[in-house]
Structure 1
Amino acid sequence: MPTDHGRGRRLWIQLLRVGLAAGRGSRGGRLRFVALVLASMALVTTAHAAVVAASAYAGRDHRDQARGPILAKSNGKNAAFRWAESTDAVGGKQHWVIYLEPMSASAEPPPGLPRWPAPGEAFLSPGLLKAGNGAHIRQRYGRVVGEIAKDGLASPGERLVYTRPLTAPEGKNAKALWYTGSGFGHPWGIGEATDPSPLPQVILAIAALVGMPALALLVVAARCGSAARDRRNQLLMALGAGWPHRALVTTGESAAASALGTVLGTVAVLPMLATDVPLPITGYVLSAADLREKSALLAVSALLSFAVAVFLVVALNRAGSVAQSTSPRRFRERVPRLRLVLFGVAVATVVVSQYFGGRTGLFLFVAGTLGVWATLPSVGARASQWLGAKMAGLGNRRGNPGLLVGGRWTGAHPGVIVRVATAMIISLGLIGQLQVWNSRLGEPARDARATQARIGDQVLIVESRDITPGRWRDFTSALPPQANAITLNMSGGDKRSVTLISPCATFQRFQTPCPSKALPVPSSSKNPQIRELLSWYGGENMSVQDGNHPAGKRSGPETIAIITGDHVDALYRTGVERAAYTTLNTPSISRLGDDWALGAEDRASLGHWLLLFGIAGMTLLILAAIVSAAAEFLRFGPALAPLTALTDNPGIYGRIAFWHLTVPMAMSTVIAAVITVWHSLFFISVIQEGEVSWNAMGGSVVGGILFALATGVLGGWAARRTSREWRPTAD
């Protein structure tokens, strides 16, 4: 005789089979299956993206510690090498230049180098060699004798240089610039390891820009064909089935699709375990070795994603309380009041976030933003419900059947607007935030870019220490023929004055008078290079003086302007940099305004990451919109088909679809645009940077309205087509 335990186990299996069969046989079953597959893929991809980010940070931190110098004791007895660092740029992107000078024959070189570079030699990373190919990077730092191996790089694409000067560091300022080290293995922070974005912020960006749209797609997929499943749940309740039994049926209906989507999403990540993969837009190269270290987390994230997908589908597949009543049911969807309360809480959180600094304020702002995006569709649905009642009343008074039926349908089914409009609403929010973030340039950065657009490399700034008379002669002799060296002698603190020192022939070449004693340079100088120097260094306090470089007379870094009046190319700058790197002590070479321009470029790089995540999220939202619209067509068409018995006017379906779909969706788009503009302006007031692009916002609103029109047209066409095939049945 079978035990109760055996009967219970068979019942569980039977309920799972019922759910599986129901998923295959219900109307729109194939659409829901595909939607759940896509949603599960999106969910597991989001989880895998978080694991990939964690693996990249862990690998980067490990290698940064392995290559960081351990400072020698103050007495220098255990010193094995000397170390100095500087920065350079290729294509508007900074990279680090590390100077090495071994002090012991037995000293081990840093990770990634097979040996210490000899005087005048350099090892470059593969990423820098590739990026600087057009900038003659191989001729910049000396003789390139090899590439830095992966174990010495924060990521496979990192840009880094190890070089050794032709002459050993010397002079009174050598100790201020050079460190003495006894070995490697201490966190130091060079190259990509100086990235200011901590891992929690990256995870938060992934969750907000990709995870949120993935959940939106899952919600839309879970509610595809919800009317039929709600009726099935009510039948199960009438037969005595409890919540666990109904959950098993729903699990059987969704598990196969969720499992398939999870497997496909995981398979898409597997190539990253075998080879280094460059990410689009950002150009960042992911390390396969780092990801292999976290392969167990990939498996865990896949299982958790599958469990979360099934759980959310079960939780969203609720049965109405009216199923317990035997009275006729008046079908009317209701927007829960709790969602409207949560919308108010989310708005308040965004407002309050400005009073908290640092990560707390950022967390509150992002949490409030997610809450606004999550609950805003419900606000649009409640507004659509109110609008539907008004449209129905107006249609009744004016005898307009399209307005009457469309209004009644909208008032009775506000959840449709929640599902169809969610994609457009969150898309507007994403577009607004990405646009504002990428507009955070700042006035100095704009001025720097304008200067560089006008003169390019015609003015280069070289900074170095201990420029002895011998080094000065070697440096100026190695410069390209068209280059002119002018020393910038700065003094005076905040109200500094700058004196340009060079032979009179140089100033005359640039249309600048050369008096016997220092006199101010007129701000109306006819020479564009001198005018740019005035704007960035001297203002009204710049003067010129006939003379030679005052070599070795200052204790701090010395600044030299390399000026040419000719149109130059990359080879010219390479010549200037090669002259500096081979003759001066750890020089730094830059263009006017590079501190601001490169800082803006670093910020733009962060914007590229947000753009990558944002495009992924937008893609998911577009899929959600398509799935939601298709699901509504499956319900809208058959529901209106009986009108065939009441009218022979086929245009009635298009008018009903216009009032039921197009008008509420367009209204939701406008509401979302108003909220997005407020949110963007608030964000700008908090960070004191950025601007709203009214063209981008206007284009997005127009796009949303066009999508609403297309949805209404297709909905009317689907209903009209279904009405031709409809026949009365005894149901």
Structure 2
Amino acid sequence: MAATVLALGLSAIMAVHASYDGIRSRSADRGIQYQEAFPDRQPVALAVDGFDTVGMLQHSIVYLRPLSGGAPLPPGVDRWPGPGEAVLSPGLVRALKAEGATDRFGSVVGEIRNEGLASPGERFGYVNPRDEQINDKAALPVVGFGGPKAAVSGDLLFIKDRGRLLTALYLILVPASVLAVVAARMGSEGRDKRTALVSALGGGLWARAWLNIGESAVPLCAGAVLGTLPGLLVAATGNVQLPWIHYWLSSADLRHWWWGMALAGIATAVVLLLLVCLLHRTGNRGKARSTRLAARGSQAIRWAAVAFPIVVFATVWGPAQLDPLQHSDLRINLYNAGVAAALITLPCAVAVAVAVAGNQLAWSARKTGSAGALVAGRHVAARPGTTARLVAGVGIAMVLVSQVQLKSEQFGETARAAHATAHRVGNSVMILSMRTDRLAPQRIASVINQLPPATLALSLRQPQDPRSIAPVLLQGPCQALLALRLDCPSGTMRATSSSADKRIVEVVRWTSPVPGRFDIRQGPVLESPDKRRGAAESVFLLVSASGKDLPAARIKQLLRDELPIATASADPPGGTWLLGANLSAAHGKWVTFLGVPGVLILALTVVLANLAEFLRFSRAVAPLSVLTGKRRIYYTTAAWGLLTPLLAAIVTSVSAATWLAVPQESPGEGIELSTSMLTGVSGALGVMALLTWWWGARASVRQAIRWRSHGD
């Protein structure tokens, strides 16, 4: 199982490299060559690189008008669409069908093949606009596609860089590594005795290694094959959609990296075989105080314990010393590496602290006469490695969950404010902007007159000087002003947000340089051109008369059909920030997608480690039944040997999670470690610790009942 999980994690690293290489290669091949970069070549088409939104997520749309029938086609396109027609990606076709807007860009006459898409699920399209949609000022001449000077579009503009996703894979790789260590030592008591016997008979390092390899090679190789099998199957069969995240994985990209998938399996088998050989120790009698085997790795655990506070301090302090503008990627990589090192050293710190406390407990038990405390104290003091394995899952789970929570909240306060605005008013109010420098007054008036019924329109005038502190001016007919709980003054009147409709309050919050204040005036929505002279755009406020949501899709379709490309937009207040927040939330889903399995792997690790410890612990304590005849001793021994280390791990991991969260926290932007989350996870782990104590004690009682003396 450990080999399968680790091989799957290493295969995911290869899949990330394969996917990003494919995305960059195909994006470069379809990039638009504008004549500005190739002045000596003749144009073959006109293009406007635009954007559209489906499901509140933005994507690219390229508006193309070929200048001749023999113009070269973009990759993945079989023929040029005619005026009013479109060729879209399968992902965009599915998204438009889900919204019931398949004819949004005109008649769909074909789909873009995979070689013309950055990824199989990309939402992308080429649209040949109608004559009335051509914008002579915005359209740029195109001489071809692909090449080093071509302008890219599509997913490459929206995805994070490769390093972000690779660092997110720590959420899988660190738990997989912990599971591998725990699995290598599962049931190791008998193997340790065998290793000691082979050493006593003169067997050297290679003899012991061959025994360990022969015993573990079959399950490790089987697990490595199972872990690499998903990637190889996708490469051999076809594109596959990842569950919940809905990302389409390209089989063509994985085929190009088939050797990477195979290498992931080989690396997994080699690493775990080395781990098994290194962790099956021979014992060190030279420093032992008794005839019991002493762990050779105890010194390494002590060094790791000493390193833990240093690692936490360096992780919190070190990246903060670098300039975030010049070394942003280095800061992130150093921080993630520090968190990974803290996760590895945390169990060792708890184990050494418990071992020190165990010696003191055993010393005090000699005076109090508590047999349970004496046995437990000696047990934890002699086996810090066992304690480290016992608490590893608990400590790492706490830090890992806190990191998942912080990374899922990393978008700014402005984006959070946009979410809050959308929650309060929805689409019941929209801000319509139209370029007066590219549109005739008649076309603007035509759009205003064709707005859906029950849509109130007001003119919204902002100060032309960006340094001005004058409030915005709302102007419209008296009927519209009264519907919004505003007065109908004969002239200009100053108003405040305290008595206005909540939709006006939200609009003023996003558009006015003066918080909470605005001017109102009764008058026509459309002003004469001479009054708007010098303004680059006209801004209108669209409000639902009933207070319900406006037909936003219908309004945006009206702008597409009636106006040239890139001359108008209609969005809710804070719409641009809302799109950015939605994109950040979509990126954050990857953290959850990887973090939840990571936490489940850690939970599995805790269960397996505790199960092994229960069996070892109960066998070791069983002979005490002859000495005491009381069952209470088993509960006391389990409390000191199992419950106390787990509770110490919970306290230590809460402190570590709080400290490691400091570099990521930004209260002004709403990024804070959740106290309720820490409390909830601590409570759940505390309950698990109590169950562990009860289970261990009961197992000891059952072993004691069945125990018989065999002269050992």
TM-score, scaled to structure 2: 0.90
Equivalent of 1:422 in 378, 389, 392: 392
Question: What residue is the counterpart of 1:659 in the other structure?
Answer: 640
Equivalent of 2:546 in 555, 566, 571: 566
Higher helix share: 1
* Bigger mean CA deviation after superposition, 70-79 or 409-418: 70-79
Separation in structure 2 between the aligned mates of residue 168 and residue 109 of structure 1, nearest angstrom: 23
Separation in structure 2 between the aligned mates of residue 140 and residue 63 of structure 1, nearest angstrom: 26
The secondary structure found in structure 2 opposite 1:321 is coil
Alignment of 1:49-88 (within 5 A): 49-73=12-36, 78-88=42-52
Equivalent of 2:695 in 708, 714, 729: 714
What 5-or-longer segments of structure 2 have no aligned partner? none
Asked whether the 8 Å contact 1:142–1:581 carries over to 2, the reply is no
Question: What residue is the counterpart of 1:644 in the other structure?
Answer: 625
Alignment of 1:292-691 (within 5 A): 292-322=255-285, 329-333=291-295, 334=298, 336=300, 337-350=302-315, 351-356=317-322, 357=324, 358-465=328-435, 466-490=438-462, 491-495=464-468, 497=470, 498-515=472-489, 518-538=492-512, 539=514, 540-544=517-521, 546-547=523-524, 548-549=526-527, 553=533, 556-568=536-548, 572-586=551-565, 587-684=568-665, 690-691=671-672
The secondary structure found in structure 1 opposite 2:126 is strand
**Pair 1:169–1:579, CA change in 2 (3 A):** closer
Equivalent of 1:279 in 221, 242, 248: 242
**Pair 1:378–1:550, CA change in 2 (3 A):** farther
Asked whether the 8 Å contact 1:142–1:578 carries over to 2, the reply is no
Deviation at 1:499, TM superposition (A): 3.5
* Bigger mean CA deviation after superposition, 607-616 or 155-164: 155-164
Asked whether the 8 Å contact 1:88–1:590 carries over to 2, the reply is no
- Identity, in percent, stands at 31
**Pair 1:518–1:583, CA change in 2 (3 A):** farther
**Pair 1:317–1:476, CA change in 2 (3 A):** same
Q: Does 1:137 align with 2:116?
A: no
**Pair 1:582–1:508, CA change in 2 (3 A):** same
Alignment of 1:28-107 (within 5 A): 38-73=1-36, 78-107=42-71
Asked whether the 8 Å contact 1:496–1:541 carries over to 2, the reply is no
Deviations 1:539-581 (A, max 9, x none): 43555462315669557454333222235458x1121011011
* Bigger mean CA deviation after superposition, 358-367 or 504-513: 504-513
Q: In the comparison of the two structures, how many residue pairs are matched?
A: 688
Q: Give the letter aligned to residue 267 of structure 1.
A: L
Q: Give the letter aligned to residue 627 of structure 1.
A: L
Deviation at 1:430, TM superposition (A): 0.8
Question: What residue is the counterpart of 1:243 in the other structure?
Answer: 205
Separation in structure 2 between the aligned mates of residue 485 and residue 123 of structure 1, nearest angstrom: 35
The secondary structure found in structure 1 opposite 2:665 is helix
Asked whether the 8 Å contact 1:459–1:591 carries over to 2, the reply is yes
Deviations 1:118-143 (A, max 9, x none): 33333333323333445333253334
Asked whether the 8 Å contact 1:120–1:582 carries over to 2, the reply is no
Deviation at 1:210, TM superposition (A): 0.9
Deviation at 1:335, TM superposition (A): 5.1
The secondary structure found in structure 2 opposite 1:113 is coil
TM-score, scaled to structure 1: 0.88
Q: Give the letter aligned to residue 214 of structure 1.
A: A
Separation in structure 2 between the aligned mates of residue 614 and residue 524 of structure 1, nearest angstrom: 45
Deviation at 1:717, TM superposition (A): 1.8
Deviation at 1:178, TM superposition (A): 2.7
Q: Give the letter aligned to residue 454 of structure 2.
A: Q
Deviation at 1:306, TM superposition (A): 1.1
Separation in structure 1 between the aligned mates of residue 560 and residue 222 of structure 2, nearest angstrom: 57
Q: Root-mean-square deviation (CA), in Å?
A: 2.7
Q: Give the letter aligned to residue 357 of structure 2.
A: L
What 5-or-longer segments of structure 1 have no aligned partner? 1-37
**Pair 1:75–1:402, CA change in 2 (3 A):** closer
Question: What residue is the counterpart of 1:31 in the other structure?
Answer: none
Asked whether the 8 Å contact 1:129–1:137 carries over to 2, the reply is no
Deviations 1:239-293 (A, max 9, x none): 2222222222211121111011111112233442213222233221112222122
Question: What residue is the counterpart of 1:702 in the other structure?
Answer: 683
Separation in structure 2 between the aligned mates of residue 77 and residue 671 of structure 1, nearest angstrom: 67
Deviation at 1:609, TM superposition (A): 0.6
Deviations 1:670-720 (A, max 9, x none): 111111112113431599651121111011111111111111212122222
Deviations 1:198-217 (A, max 9, x none): 212322221x2111111100
**Pair 1:129–1:516, CA change in 2 (3 A):** farther
**Pair 1:508–1:699, CA change in 2 (3 A):** closer
Q: Give the letter aligned to residue 531 of structure 1.
A: V
Separation in structure 1 between the aligned mates of residue 229 and residue 487 of structure 2, nearest angstrom: 71
**Pair 1:408–1:260, CA change in 2 (3 A):** same
Separation in structure 2 between the aligned mates of residue 388 and residue 381 of structure 1, nearest angstrom: 10
* Bigger mean CA deviation after superposition, 645-654 or 672-681: 645-654
Deviation at 1:405, TM superposition (A): 1.7
**Pair 1:475–1:652, CA change in 2 (3 A):** same
**Pair 1:703–1:168, CA change in 2 (3 A):** same
Question: What residue is the counterpart of 1:35 in the other structure?
Answer: none
Separation in structure 1 between the aligned mates of residue 69 and residue 528 of structure 2, nearest angstrom: 37
Separation in structure 2 between the aligned mates of residue 119 and residue 520 of structure 1, nearest angstrom: 49
Asked whether the 8 Å contact 1:64–1:154 carries over to 2, the reply is yes
**Pair 1:54–1:346, CA change in 2 (3 A):** same
Separation in structure 2 between the aligned mates of residue 153 and residue 503 of structure 1, nearest angstrom: 49
Asked whether the 8 Å contact 1:156–1:285 carries over to 2, the reply is yes
**Pair 1:553–1:196, CA change in 2 (3 A):** farther
Deviation at 1:163, TM superposition (A): 2.5
Asked whether the 8 Å contact 1:340–1:375 carries over to 2, the reply is yes
Deviation at 1:630, TM superposition (A): 1.5
Asked whether the 8 Å contact 1:502–1:549 carries over to 2, the reply is no
Separation in structure 1 between the aligned mates of residue 459 and residue 105 of structure 2, nearest angstrom: 23
Asked whether the 8 Å contact 2:454–2:546 carries over to 1, the reply is yes
Asked whether the 8 Å contact 2:666–2:672 carries over to 1, the reply is no
The secondary structure found in structure 1 opposite 2:47 is strand
**Pair 1:425–1:590, CA change in 2 (3 A):** same
Separation in structure 1 between the aligned mates of residue 520 and residue 278 of structure 2, nearest angstrom: 76
The secondary structure found in structure 1 opposite 2:426 is helix
The secondary structure found in structure 2 opposite 1:493 is coil
Q: Give the letter aligned to residue 303 of structure 1.
A: I
